[in-house]
Structure 1
């Protein structure tokens, strides 16, 4: 007779799940793994070797291994361990977490701020705290999923507006009334940049609360890395800024800028704040050290911006539709998941590893490979990315991608508009 504690994996008890659960699991394996991915997996390609270029990390400034950050975290971990495991609502007085909240808020030129467990928790908690079932919530169609989840948790109905279409946004507000407007400063899927100044004006004109997710611009944009809102001088016109500190800050946390009286309200109103344990002491000290590194990383920011601009130009010249990217995020939109697997394999076989984005992270049949650039990429490595993308165009059938056809239609429309203008000028001359 086998000892109950030495059973093999095959002997482990397996609970019986009802049909409404098993049918969903079976549908995933049937429709996605077997039919769409032909028994493979869209997220699991080659294993990168030591010389591979990793373009899947959000560590844009390449500081995750910075010695100052590591030393600060290690010292605190040895001295304090995991600290007191409890919700942050119990914290008061002179403690490192509250001190860092104030320091980060000052850095972002905000009156106050709240540190959260993640960017996802920051967005869901914030929307839950400012919207209700009666609140119209206007959201860019490309906004991060955590903002959409925040709308759901608030019981509100999302009112989408076309990506970066300020005319459509104003039309929606005129129809449904005063509410909350949600955008990303830099959109995580394609790297496009929000028209923040114009949307701020629309929010002011209609009395709307403006919320900007700065996850992909905090640290990389603005003076000292303070973000795009500060760069544009919009601090007083944006009610709340949120950010994941798992991007340029290379940690695990989220942040919300807010008025000083909102800080306490949020901590006692937001479910993620109330019902999740606070960050650990070594995480706080690591983030504090990271902020100091980011403030003195102007050269890294400049390097990242110039590398990204050069690569965007090269890829555009090669015929890739970059969907309006103006940042360190560059997306190659192959379309279907099958075509994206072909693109993934072509890149990985040549030593370039990006991130696969597919539904539900993208719209159906708009899957893509996202290349996240970082400050430590050399000129030779940037050139390699461009050269590989040049060489694989026939292999991946770039001319058949829907995004390529859209680009062609757009260029044709531009040419036709220029021709019309030229004809008009010739008649009036």
Structure 2
């Protein structure tokens, strides 16, 4: 090699650097356009370091059961028994074993003939819609229905037909236009804590010959007789075709549940892709839910405390000028609007020791992001006062009067 030439090591690109342009463009959209430019280089969803008196309003453990000794002991005893689990698909589980027994118990609790435990609330919703809808079938979804329900429509290759949130007349017009299908709602919606008008929706389903699916993730354990949910509270368990729920809320674990008939259960286990291609629940997980069910059935005092706390804080926030009128239950959305405004709100709340969860697109529509406060039964009077004092103190700092939700409130109140 001539002395005038220099030697260069060949440039070695990492796997990420070799990504095709269509992937790189999506990464750039997130890291450059959203995180760097819109969020100012900080992650919108990440908390700052909490202080010693921080109040966490981001957990779905509504009844504060996650640390209950009797539940932990039930799970620990199962783990310590030394009995090995069979790691296999749910479709192979034999009738009479621990999972079908618990499914029957949960179904009885909810006033259903039978039920299915799934790996998550997500797989419950995706698996159910994949097995009841089909190509071209209209599926009517409330626009605030959980993302897993929309994903289930995609899995079924069905036709999503949205209707305005809790707008029964819009649903009626959509069903008249597109015909019988599947109507999908949440009993309590996960962003604002609003309640579905179940009786009116059910009437449309029955009049049109449509199936009704109700996601009870945020009402199972917290509402109804012994916590059996809003459908049971309203006496509709024999009329609603299917109910689903995430057991990662009031039940404090990691699973989902579907109410159904025994005949449908056999069909589901051999047809639902999440059931076929995911491993079954483990014995210690089932032991937790068995113990949790017994505990929740007797937890009327905690349900009363949860609803009392929700009323206290909602009334207090409303008096301070926050628009919390979109919901009524234990989930409260402080809707700042744009993501930069929500970032200011999140930081201001954290300075007051209040740690909620930021919800933004795709969990909310664009420019309707919020900090969600998830309440629980264990909040003390001191903590409730800290929450209200903190929210009072930050009103000018966060520009409350300029929020779009505040302007909607002003219009509503004239």
TM-score range, shorter chain: over 0.9
1:273-352 aligned within 5 A: 273-352=275-354
Residue in 2 that maps onto 1:140:
142
SS at match of 1:94: coil
Shift of 1:82: 5.7
Residue correspondence of structure 1 range 53-68 to structure 2 within 5 A: 53-68=55-70
- Report if the CA contact (8 A) 1:139-1:182 is conserved: yes
| Residue aligning to 2:29 | 27
Q: Distance in 1 between matches of 2:289 and 2:84?
A: 15
2:80 to 78, 83, 87: 78
Name 2:3's counterpart in structure 1.
none
Question: SS of 1:149's equivalent?
Answer: helix
Partner residue of 1:92?
94
CA distance, structure 1, for counterparts of residue 30 and residue 17 of structure 2: 20
**2:18 maps to which residue?**
16
Q: CA deviation at 1:81?
A: 5.8
Query: For residue 390 of structure 1, what is the aligned residue in structure 2?
Result: 392
Whole-angstrom CA distance in 1 between matches of 2:144 and 2:16: 40
SS in 1 for 2:413: helix
1:355 paired to 2:325: no
* CA displacement, residues 199-227 of structure 1 (integer Å, 9 cap, x when unaligned): 11111111110000000000000000000
SS in structure 2 opposite 1:405?
Answer: helix
Partners of 1:304 and 1:287 in 2: CA distance: 21
CA contact (8 A) 2:47 2:355 kept: no
Q: Within 2, Cα distance between the matches of 1:388 and 1:238? A: 42
| Alignment partners' CA distance in 1, 2:288 and 2:82 | 13
- Segments of 5+ residues of structure 1 without an aligned counterpart are 1-9, 413-429
Shift of 1:88: 1.0
Q: Structure 1, residues 140-164: CA drift from partner, whole Å, max 9, x if none?
A: 0000000000011110121011000
TM-score using structure 2 length: 0.95
Show the counterpart of 2:190: 188
Check conservation: 1:70, 1:286, Cα contact below 8 A: yes
Question: How far apart, CA to CA, are the structure 2 residues paired with 1:265 and 1:168?
Answer: 33
Q: 1:264 aligns with which of 262, 266, 274?
A: 266
Alpha-carbon separation, structure 1, partners of 2:76 and 2:130: 36
Aligned to 1:407: 409
Q: Is the 8 A contact 1:181 1:203 kept in 2?
A: yes
Partner of 1:246: 248
Distance 2:34 2:249 in 1: 29
**Separation in 2 of the partners of 1:14 and 1:174?**
50
Q: Is the 8 A contact 2:214 2:244 kept in 1?
A: yes
Q: Is the 8 A contact 1:82 1:280 kept in 2?
A: no
Residues of 2 paired with 1:11 and 1:351: CA distance?
Answer: 45
State the Cα distance separating 1:274 from its structure 2 match.
0.4
- Between Structure 1 and Structure 2, the one with more helix by share is 1
Measured in 2, the distance between the counterparts of 1:13 and 1:168 equals: 49
CA distance in 1 between partners of 2:20 and 2:178 (Å): 42
User: Structure 2 CA distance, aligned partners of 1:121 and 1:366?
Assistant: 27
Deviation, structure 1 residue 410:
1.6
Partner of 1:422: none
For 1:317 and 1:108, the matched residues in 2 are separated by: 37
In 2, Cα distance between the equivalents of 1:81 and 1:406? Answer: 58
Contact 1:76 1:285 in 2 (8 A): yes
Q: CA RMSD in A?
A: 1.4
Q: Which runs of 4+ in 1 moved over 3 A?
A: 10-15
Q: 1:152 aligns to what?
A: 154
2: CA distance, partners of 1:72 / 1:251: 13
Sort the Cα spacing of 1:18 and 1:227 in 2 relative to 1 into closer, same or farther, 3 A: same
Matched pairs, number: 403
* Cα distance, 1:35–1:180 mapped onto 2, change above 3 Å: same
Residues 319 and 304 of structure 1, relative CA distance in 2, 3 Å threshold: same
Rounded Cα–Cα distance in structure 1 between residues aligned with 2:276 and 2:52: 43
Confirm or deny that 1:175 pairs with 2:177: yes
Q: CA deviation at 1:112?
A: 0.7
Shift of 1:236: 1.2
Counterpart Cα distance in 1 of 2:401 and 2:200: 35
- 2:119 match: 117
Q: Is the 8 A contact 1:323 1:331 kept in 2?
A: no
